[in-house]
Amino acid sequence: MNGSDLLELSASDLSRMIHARQLAPSEVMATHLAQVAAANGAVNAVVSARDPEVLMAEARAADDVAPAGWLHGIPLAVKDLCATAGLRTTWGSPLFADFVPEKDDLLAARMRGAGAILTGKTNTPEWGHGSHSFNPVFGVTRNPYDLTRTAGGSSGGAAAALAARMLWVADGSDMMGSLRNPAGFCNIYGFRPSWGLVPGDAEGDTFLATLATEGPMARTVEDLARLLAVQAGPNPEVPFCRDAQDFPALLDRDVKGLRIGWLGNWGGAYAMEPGILELCEAALRQFEDMGAVVDPLPPPFPAEKLWQAWITLRAMLNAGAFRPFSAARRAQLKPETQWEIAQGEGLSAAAVHEASTIRSRWYAHAARLFARYDLIALPTAQVWPFPADWRWPQEVAGRAMDTYHRWMEVVIPASLAGLPALSVPVGFGQPGSQAAGLPMGMQLIGPAGGDAGVLAAGQAWHRATGWPQKRPPLVPPANSR
């Protein structure tokens, strides 16, 4: 099997072949290094790449030992917001441009423990703020489907690396859509788990900081489920954790009779660029052809209340996280981060309590919604992948955006309630339109703790459509090398 054939395999297929001794980790590593050399110069998704000779030596050593886990011998680059022992971790910030951690964060440790060979990092916006992966340390990550466009963020490097076949599976993190938005922009899958399923490290506040989570990204849903099984499971030092399940074993479910509520643009509250709603509605018709029942729904909760709660709680957490930074260091932060801190420092206890109350009421409303529906659906993004030289979209469909992240508002309902949400690819912009050839995704959102059901719906969708098999232009067809 040549390199171009290996690029198209799933991580699960690679794993099965490695475990059966039909494929050596050194062959996989050689293919990975060749594709990074071929594609990363244009895409700029993998950063802080380790020395190829050292990586080949580690892979050859993995050839001769019993597999340590399902990721045994599979190259993996970790998002640059996750600390990795001995491997530069910058958070996209010049303040940490040369920082090399002494220990892994829990997520990296779990993936390394499952046998992955860490080859580098994936690019991210500075501090993960904003859904466009650019920073002053490494520059801009570009979309493999159109190199003039963004790959999204904050897991943009991971999504672009997967789409460009530089990785088979990747980790990401998601506060405001960072596992979903770049997945939609890059024609792959990104899964935000129920909050508490993938715990963080016991550092800083762990009781109030319940908006962000880490999770998996991949080109197949089986790979998502298998990586999630590695990432998930309680950290006894962190509150509110959920137990892991055997997610791969729970994928094969019939979607006949599955009830999906379609929320569209939330009754007009969310500005959408032309073509996005239509593409998602076509995908929902395909779900109906598969046996699902789809009902359009009115907005279940005031969008402006959700936004008020979101920006208040997010600003509170950001102000707290950056409080230890001196005034001189804060002055070096990106303008969007400085804005977040300023918003948070001006908050009253009453404002935070009101935001938390709104959040609580939305959680209760969502629970009642899921008494009637198995899933609710929303577009993954409100805009198509935008020019890579923008900081962020100043307007959407003629509507001015009043903050640097208002254009990402469609991801907030799942994030605010801690719900599992899977971004599934739904196709590309129509020929002749301004979005021609650009990817888009749709969120499938389930009840809290309903991760297995969301992934099962995604598995049925993947088997019916296989959208990630449509390669970006810079990836050669299989058997071409």
CATH code of the domain in which 421 resides: 3.90.1300.10
In-domain check, residue 474: no
Task: Give the span between the Cα atoms of 278 and 210, in whole angstroms.
Answer: 33
pLDDT for 479 equals 62
Q: Which residues contact 309 (CB under 8 A, 6 or more apart)?
A: 354, 355, 356, 358, 359, 362, 416
Q: Tokens 């596992």 appear where? A: 179
Q: What is the pLDDT of residues 300-355, one digit of tens each?
A: 999 999 999 999 999 999 999 999 999 999 999 999 999 999 999 999 999 999 99
In-domain check, residue 103: yes
In-domain check, residue 178: yes
- Which amino acid is present at 132? H
Task: Give the span between the Cα atoms of 88 and 99, in whole angstroms.
Answer: 6
In-domain check, residue 355: yes
Q: What is the pLDDT of residues 388-407, one digit of tens each?
A: 999 999 999 999 999 999 99
Mean pLDDT over each residue of the chain, to the nearest integer: 97
pLDDT for 40 equals 98
| pLDDT confidence bin for 3, thresholds 50/70/90 | confident
Calculate mean pLDDT across residues 242-260: 97
pTM over 0.95: yes
Structural domain span for residue 100: 3-469
In-domain check, residue 479: no
Q: Using omega within 30 degrees of 0 as the cis cutoff, is the peptide bond preceding 133 cis? A: no
Integer Rg of the chain from CA: 21
Indicate if the pLDDT at residue 481 is higher than 60. no
CA atoms within 13 A on the CB side of 369: 28
Contact 2, 23 (CB under 8 A): no
Domain count, the chain: 1
Q: What is the pLDDT of residues 94-125, one digit of tens each?
A: 999 999 999 999 999 999 999 999 999 999 99
Q: What is the pLDDT of residues 18-66, one digit of tens each?
A: 999 999 999 999 999 999 999 999 999 999 999 999 999 999 999 999 9
- Which amino acid is present at 141? T
Contact 110, 230 (CB under 8 A): yes
Indicate if the pLDDT at residue 480 is higher than 80. no
In-domain check, residue 480: no
Calculate mean pLDDT across residues 423-448: 98
Looking at the DSSP assignment, which residues form a beta bridge with residue 380? Answer: none
pLDDT for 477 equals 76
In-domain check, residue 481: no
4 versus 235: the higher-pLDDT residue is 235
| pLDDT confidence bin for 382, thresholds 50/70/90 | very high
In-domain check, residue 140: yes
Calculate mean pLDDT across residues 416-421: 98
